[in-house]
Amino acid sequence: MIDISPSVMQFLLAFIVVAPLLGAATALPPAPPGLRGSGPDQAVLRHGVTVTGAILVAAIVLALGFDHDQPSRMQATTDISWIAALDVRIHLGVDGISLPLLVLTALLTFLCALYSYFKPPAGPSPRAFVALLLVLESGTLATFAVLDLLLFFLAFEMVLIPMYFLIARWGGAERQAAAWKFILYTLLGSVVMLLGLLLVGLHAGTFDMVALATDNGSGLSKSVQVTAVLAIGIGLAVKTPMWPLHSWLPDAHTAAPTVGSVLLAGVMLKMGTYGFVRIVLPIAPDGMRTFAPYLAAFAVVGIIYGSLACLALARRGAGGDLKRLIAYSSVGHMGFVLLGIASMTPTGVNGALFANVAHGLITGLLFFLVGALKDRYGTADLDTLAGATGAALYGRAPRLGGLLAFAAVASLGLPGLAGFWGEMLAMFGAFDPAPGLSRPAFLTFTAIACFGTLLTAAYLLIVVRRVCMGATRPAAGAEETGPAPELADVQGYELAAWTPLVALTVLAGLWPAVLLGLTDPAVQKLLAGGKS
């Protein structure tokens, strides 16, 4: 760790939030002739890599300058009055809960920009694509950095428009319908959430999230807390997405371009679960305690539902789309995150935060890999990919096949990789929930979630067997058409984009204390009402 002055830390956090917007504004005008390289398209894509790279460097420096001995304390804070009549403030800060999500967002956006530089998505002008990517990054980073309820809402909504256009303009088949479904679901959920945020702020007399967390609901009656948790929770649950409010997600992922899917799964879904931890748990604990059993029930239904949907898509002859399958797997994985939050225990919430980061790394890698397969085969249809005897990726493109198998076993929770710890801790938290919650009910939820881990392993291993294994020649009795066509293995730019995700998946799996050491003190303080 390095010693950085508080003023520099303040600047770094403000830079991380604002710089993507400045980068988006400068991406739209044509580049000066001397900076165009081989053409204006290459220049703007290089601009995207440069801006997101600078933001990633700033995020890493911020993480290195973070006081790891006091991760529960808000650091790099900026607090400026904005709307004095409502006590709305431009309040930024970072602690052990938000820091990992900031770095994850900066990393995934940079890797998406790097990937797009070498493999631009088919569609309109790259200038608009880069600008939308940077606006999306700014909104996501702001969501994890702001400490005012109304600013949180504005940042939460800021990501919707760029993601809508990324799907509608650069997506695949059915992209218009998928984009409209995405925007309608999330906007309707957000309207209800805004009412809940206003209810809390007006009754408490402040929108400051730190002050509200310190009050720990003491200034809010139970009826206000219950109403607020219901309203805020609906908006957050849509973004998470929680069953049965998830149906926009498979369509959006199936239609989105590769980098859109990576960012949607890797960081945007985390905004909903982060809101539960940052806002609902500390600000309205009595209301959360009322709804926690229902949240846990919806979570475990989502785990089973997502796994069964994946099994149905994975079976031979189902015509399942591999991108759609991974989207449904996200419904199941985010169910474990919600189960950990619903336990209202430090163990469960730490597990939820760990699973958030692990899911971002692993599912981001999976969507990159499926995008690469779709580029090579021209389709993500699982029956087409598997073919008559299996796609035999191990034999035809061994590095690509090995990476797909690695991501699959990481996603199913293999011990020693990042996917294991979060889901295990979430179930441990549910096994012994917070006082006031029904332990028999949560034991039942834990048992159902354990069964869900078996279903998860089943569908992911089926995918690996069908896509990676098999003969490289036609099956016996099939028409002999010569050797299977050549399939390009992992390219250099793909390796550059995917290696950090692989390395961090292994690091988080072998050394979970790196992440838990940040989150645990902050979670303990949050659940104790702002008291360390």
Q: Which of 15-19, 97-101, 377-381 has the lowest mean pLDDT?
A: 377-381
Over 60: is that where the pLDDT of 156 sits?
yes
pLDDT band per the 50, 70, 90 thresholds, residue 509: very high
Tens-place pLDDT, residues 171-202: 877 888 888 888 888 888 889 999 999 999 88
pLDDT band per the 50, 70, 90 thresholds, residue 483: very low
243 φ/ψ angles, rounded to the nearest 5 degrees? -60, 135
Q: Are 527 and 281 in contact (CB under 8 A)?
A: yes
Average pLDDT over residues 315-334: 86
Over 50: is that where the pLDDT of 80 sits?
yes
Containing H/E element for 78? strand 75-83
Q: Are 162 and 135 in contact (CB under 8 A)?
A: yes
pLDDT band per the 50, 70, 90 thresholds, residue 293: very high
Give buried/exposed letters for 320-340 (b at 16+ CB in 10 A, else e). bbbbbbbbbbbbbbbbbbbbb
Q: Residue 348: name the closest of 357, 338, 358 by CA.
A: 338
Tokens of 494: 């793909």
Q: Which of 3-7, 127-131, 495-499 has the lowest mean pLDDT?
A: 3-7
DSSP assignment of 16-66 equals: HHHHHHHHHHHHSSPPPGGG-TT-HHHHHHHHHHHHHHHHHHHHHHHHHHS
Q: Residue 326: name the closest of 266, 384, 402 by CA.
A: 266
What is the pLDDT, as a whole number, of residue 76? Answer: 87
Containing H/E element for 266? none
Express as a percent the part of the chain with pLDDT over 70. Answer: 93
pLDDT band per the 50, 70, 90 thresholds, residue 471: low
- Contacts with 72 (C-beta within 8 Å, 6 or more apart), sequence order: 95, 96, 521, 522, 524, 525, 532
pLDDT band per the 50, 70, 90 thresholds, residue 530: low
Q: Residue 164: name the closest of 246, 233, 257 by CA.
A: 257
Q: How many Å apart are CA 152 and CA 264, to the nearest integer?
A: 18
What is the pLDDT, as a whole number, of residue 531? Answer: 58
Tens-place pLDDT, residues 439-469: 999 999 999 999 999 999 999 998 888 888 7
Which phi-psi region, left, alpha or beta, contains residue 473 (left: φ > 0; alpha: ψ -120 to 50)? beta
Express as a percent the part of the chain with pLDDT over 90. Answer: 49
pLDDT band per the 50, 70, 90 thresholds, residue 474: very low
pLDDT band per the 50, 70, 90 thresholds, residue 472: low
What is the pLDDT, as a whole number, of residue 480? Answer: 42
Q: Are 198 and 152 in contact (CB under 8 A)?
A: no
Average pLDDT over residues 293-320: 89
Note the helical H segments in 378-417: 382-386, 393-396, 398-411
Q: Integer distance in angstroms from the first to the last C-alpha of the chain?
A: 23
What is the pLDDT, as a whole number, of residue 37? Answer: 53
What is the pLDDT, as a whole number, of residue 456? Answer: 92
Tens-place pLDDT, residues 117-134: 988 887 778 888 999 999
What is the pLDDT, as a whole number, of residue 45? Answer: 87
Over 90: is that where the pLDDT of 1 sits?
no
Please say whether the dihedral angle defined by the alpha carbons of residues 337, 341, 342 and 344, taken in this order, is positive or negative: positive
- Cα atoms found within 13 Å of the Cα of residue 460, Cβ hemisphere only: 28
Strand partners, 146: 92
Average pLDDT over residues 103-123: 91
Tens-place pLDDT, residues 54-66: 999 999 999 998 9
Q: Are 338 and 295 in contact (CB under 8 A)?
A: yes
Over 60: is that where the pLDDT of 89 sits?
yes
505 φ/ψ angles, rounded to the nearest 5 degrees? -65, -40
What is the pLDDT, as a whole number, of residue 115? Answer: 92
Mean pLDDT, all residues of the chain = 87
pLDDT band per the 50, 70, 90 thresholds, residue 38: low
What is the pLDDT, as a whole number, of residue 476? Answer: 42
What is the pLDDT, as a whole number, of residue 101? Answer: 94
Tens-place pLDDT, residues 394-425: 877 889 889 999 999 999 989 989 989 999 99
Cα-to-chain-centroid distance, residue 468: 26
pLDDT band per the 50, 70, 90 thresholds, residue 99: very high
Tens-place pLDDT, residues 425-437: 999 999 999 888 8
Average pLDDT over residues 201-212: 87
Average pLDDT over residues 260-274: 91
